[in-house]
Amino acid sequence: MAETIIKIDLNQSPYENENIHNRWHPDIPMAKMVKPGDDFILECHDWTGGQIKNDDCADDVRDVDLSQVHFLTGPVGVEGAEPGDLLVVDILDIGTFEESQWGFNGFFSKQNGGGFLTEHFPEAQKSIWDFNGMFTKSRHIPNVEFAGLIHPGLIGCLPSKDMLDEWNSREKELYDTEPDRVPGLANLPYADTAHMGKLSGDAKAKAAAEGARTVPPREHGGNCDIKDLSRGSQVYFPVYVKDAGLSVGDLHFSQGDGEITFCGAIEMAGWIHLRVNIIKGGMEKYGIKNPIFKPSPMAPKYDDYLIFEGISVDEQGKQHYLDVHVAYRQACLNAIEYLKKFGYTGAQAYALLGCAPVQGHISGVVDVPNACATLWLPTDIFDFDIKPGMDGPQHSVAGSTDVPLSKDK
């Protein structure tokens, strides 16, 4: 039985645990040390550190302090790892806590975080999902149930000082092009809510002022939100500091490609069982500057999809040049409008696309001026037929429930 080398208490603030951090910085001390070939278990808070509750009110999503996120378990040092190596991480298993068999999905208020479709869903909403073994369903979104593919939304190694400086410089440059934008173009260092693991005193204050926020993916991995990183996956992470400094968090019970609601998976607390090894000099040997991985062989088996296309013409009819972001937005909006014909509200449809095992594909990027993106919606997750038919859509969803909404203050 593998040892749980970092434990958490769901009734305790993550700020009270020195084996947790919420910024990236090379000076954060290793929480634990392991050797190549070791396997071990890490326990993880949900990404907000317990700010979201299992209830029917979205006030907590509206008022969430996003400057705190994400709370990560680690960093775990691997003996012998050096800059230029590849850290090989096998995800052996991952799961929920027995006492916490639920997760949440949310839309952030445009004034506090926003999201992929924030112009269409500008206020805070939340859905709760209950787990039943490998399956989940929500009291807020009827007539649907599906198998989860639990995965870490965020996993990666510590950056070097040079890499940290590069991140902060380029993101500040982008931010400064439109500093008053809501939501912002980037999340800059913010010391007030930084949790720097075992660092203390002046060293903590300095690192907190420099530490990179955990919101985006970067060269080291980070918040990539790749739903196929699950049991059986093998990930190859570039190493940028001595001992590598592997951290993980933001566990998801299930997620659609793109995590389109931003708080867009079924977020959960839980545990992950990992094994680590090192490929010496692997970055140069294989020409790697960003992680690569082998997907999980355990993906839920859905064979029948209804596929929605989107092109790079936005909601206002403006033509964009081969813009995949715009095209995928249109595919998502097309799917939402379609599901509304069966009785779902727009919010229910949006939440479902963020949570269910939806596939997103870049289908064409060469046919000027329009990129084409597609959203693949599995039909088997519904308890009624969603395919088009001669008799038109059957209004199968009762309109007695919706995703709870909290108005901006």
Whole-prediction pTM value? Answer: 0.96
Report yes or no on 242 lying in a domain: yes
Report yes or no on 112 lying in a domain: yes
Give yes or no: residues 286 and 323 share one domain: no
Q: At residue 264, does pLDDT exceed 90? A: no
Across 67-77, average pLDDT:
98
Contacting residues for 82 by C-beta, under 8 A, at least 6 apart: 239, 242, 280
Report yes or no on 299 lying in a domain: no
Tens of pLDDT, residue by residue over 154-186, are 999 999 999 999 999 999 999 999 999 999 999
357 prior amide bond cis, ω within 30: no
CATH number, residue 343: 3.10.28
Report the pLDDT value the prediction gives residue 144, as an integer from 0 to 100: 97
Report yes or no on 409 lying in a domain: no
Across 11-24, average pLDDT:
98
Report the pLDDT value the prediction gives residue 396, as an integer from 0 to 100: 78
Across 356-384, average pLDDT:
97
Give yes or no: residues 317 and 279 share one domain: no
Tens of pLDDT, residue by residue over 201-246, are 999 999 999 999 999 999 999 999 999 999 999 999 999 999 999 9
Give yes or no: residues 365 and 232 share one domain: no
Q: At residue 395, does pLDDT exceed 90? A: no
Give the integer Cα–Cα distance in Å for 229 and 158. Answer: 19
Tell me the percentage of the chain whose pLDDT exceeds 70. Answer: 100
Which single residue is written with the structure tokens 């949440």? 104
Binned at pLDDT 50, 70 and 90, residue 300 comes out as confident
The closest alpha carbon to 148, from 88, 115, 105, belongs to: 105
Give yes or no: residues 279 and 311 share one domain: no
Give yes or no: residues 289 and 318 share one domain: no
Give yes or no: residues 259 and 331 share one domain: no
Give yes or no: residues 285 and 320 share one domain: no
Give yes or no: residues 287 and 330 share one domain: no
Report the pLDDT value the prediction gives residue 298, as an integer from 0 to 100: 86
Report the pLDDT value the prediction gives residue 10, as an integer from 0 to 100: 97
Across 102-112, average pLDDT:
97
Report yes or no on 359 lying in a domain: yes
Tens of pLDDT, residue by residue over 36-54, are 999 999 999 999 999 999 9
Three-state SS string over the chain comes to CCEEEECCCCCCCHHHCCCEECCECCCCCCCEEECCCCEEEEEECCCCCCCCCCCCCCHHHHCCCHHHCCCEEEEEEECCCCCCCEEEEEEEEEEECCCCCEEEEEECCCCCCCCCCCCCCCCEEEEEEEEECCEEEECCEEEEEEECCCEEEEEEECCCHHHHHHHHHHHHHHHHCCCCCCCCCCCCCCHHHCCECCCCHHHHHHHHHHCECCCCEECCEECCCCCCCCCCCEEEEECCCCCCCEEEEEEECCCCCCCCCEEEEEECCEEEEEEEEEECCHHHHHCCCCCEEECCCCCCCCCCEEEEEEECECCCCCECCCCHHHHHHHHHHHHHHHHHCCCCCHHHHHHHHHHCCCEEEEEECCCCCCCEEEEEEEHHHECCCCCCCCCCCCCCCCCCCCCCEECCC
Report yes or no on 195 lying in a domain: yes
Determine the structural domain holding residue 349 and report its residue range. 305-404
In whole numbers, what is the pLDDT of the chain averaged over residues? 97
Across 260-283, average pLDDT:
96
Q: At residue 346, does pLDDT exceed 90? A: yes
Report yes or no on 234 lying in a domain: yes
Report the pLDDT value the prediction gives residue 1, as an integer from 0 to 100: 81
Report yes or no on 143 lying in a domain: yes
Report the pLDDT value the prediction gives residue 258, as an integer from 0 to 100: 96
Q: Which of 237, 271, 294 is the last residue of a domain?
A: 294
Give yes or no: residues 249 and 387 share one domain: no
Report the pLDDT value the prediction gives residue 398, as an integer from 0 to 100: 77
The number of folded domains in the chain is 2
CATH number, residue 255: 2.60.120.580
Give yes or no: residues 151 and 59 share one domain: yes
